[in-house]
Structure 1
């Protein structure tokens, strides 16, 4: 299996060095370059083979979001993971709309980053940290209750309705009712589709 060719983009040398140490420890990852702003990212991918770009959201010259937009337009096959210092709700919808493959806080860039790289390279988005960015209003747009989201989260763990009921201290029938309501609200007919939808939209 060939190594995943990763380009790092962050204007803080200390952060960059930390990322290099973390990723270099993995036999599955090859760091092909390190740059300091979005323009340098675009110049690098034009002349080099890159599978995935790890982007800081705040960089001089060209920020991570602007860079990600241009990358996805010109090089849709390249995966993108955004790093941010803060859980800024203002850019969550933008991240999803652009099609950025992953996002996590810089405070969680150890095993989480390696896990995120593995997931996005296998075609699955990594929005684990986005659930912390969501406001109640943003969750409400899907018309899902907190209890329904709790049920979806446990569905994602592979639990049966009976096991979910035991975990949430409710009856199995109540769990089944929640599942039916979720599928109706999201216009989906399979549990796996519900779980994938929730992951894709940062709900779990």
Structure 2
């Protein structure tokens, strides 16, 4: 994806202008539309067919989480990123469960926002973490080993078992053993459910 077409949605014009300056500071992104509420977002999405929608979480009209399924159905290749001031685990859990591709805080540094957008454009999910303190407390309760924590982090970042093996210089069979242990300790039936669980508990992050 050489040039990423972006739709910005926020009910505050000054926020849209600020984000436009940030993303257009990179040659990778072009803003093709703007919206100030949920209805305008849908209208602009159908018209412009953007690659990425960067939207506020709480605007007038239908929320981006509620609209996600409809957007993904009509625009199957679109990536949706929430940009918000609300750092709530329940919002993040609902966002991931609905198919949202990213969740970024508004006070994030511009270069980190661009990094997150780059990750999403490449097909990765990018959810900013809760406080590291809660992350470590949850990890301790689960009694994950250091290697399991490392592999779980890569699972959250959408790496396959083969890619994890290559990245960590271990065999794919060893990765599968660790993944099985992670699923057992989290009490989840598969990788996707384990990621949802980890996000809800607030102890995973995506490095930007």
TM-score normalised over the length of structure 2: 0.69
Q: Which moved more, 1:99-108 or 1:88-97?
A: 88-97
Matches within 5 A, 1:1-204: 2-108=2-108, 110-127=110-127, 129-132=128-131, 144-145=142-143, 148=146, 151-152=149-150, 183-186=180-183, 202=199, 203-204=204-205
Aligned partners of 1:110 and 1:32: how far apart in 2? 20
Cα 1:132–1:150 shift into 2, 3 Å: farther
- Does structure 2 conserve the Cα–Cα contact (< 8 Å) formed by 1:103 and 1:126? yes
Instruction: Give the CA deviation at 1:152.
Output: 1.5
Q: Looking at both structures, which has the greater relative contact order when contacts are Cα pairs under 8 Å and sequence separation is at least 6? A: 2
Instruction: Give the CA deviation at 1:72.
Output: 2.2
Q: Which residue of 1 aligns with 2:158?
A: none
Cα 1:155–1:63 shift into 2, 3 Å: closer
Query: SS of the counterpart of 2:126?
Result: coil
- Does structure 2 conserve the Cα–Cα contact (< 8 Å) formed by 1:5 and 1:29? yes
Cα 1:19–1:135 shift into 2, 3 Å: same
Aligned length: 177
- Does structure 1 conserve the Cα–Cα contact (< 8 Å) formed by 2:81 and 2:101? yes
Structure 2 residues not aligned, in runs of 5+: 155-163, 171-175, 185-190
Structure 1 residues not aligned, in runs of 5+: 162-178, 188-193
Larger Rg: 1
Instruction: Give the CA deviation at 1:182.
Output: 5.6
Cα 1:2–1:185 shift into 2, 3 Å: closer
Q: Which moved more, 1:17-26 or 1:55-64?
A: 55-64
- Does structure 2 conserve the Cα–Cα contact (< 8 Å) formed by 1:88 and 1:133? no
- Does structure 2 conserve the Cα–Cα contact (< 8 Å) formed by 1:92 and 1:130? no
Instruction: Give the CA deviation at 1:48.
Output: 1.6
Instruction: Give the CA deviation at 1:154.
Output: 9.8
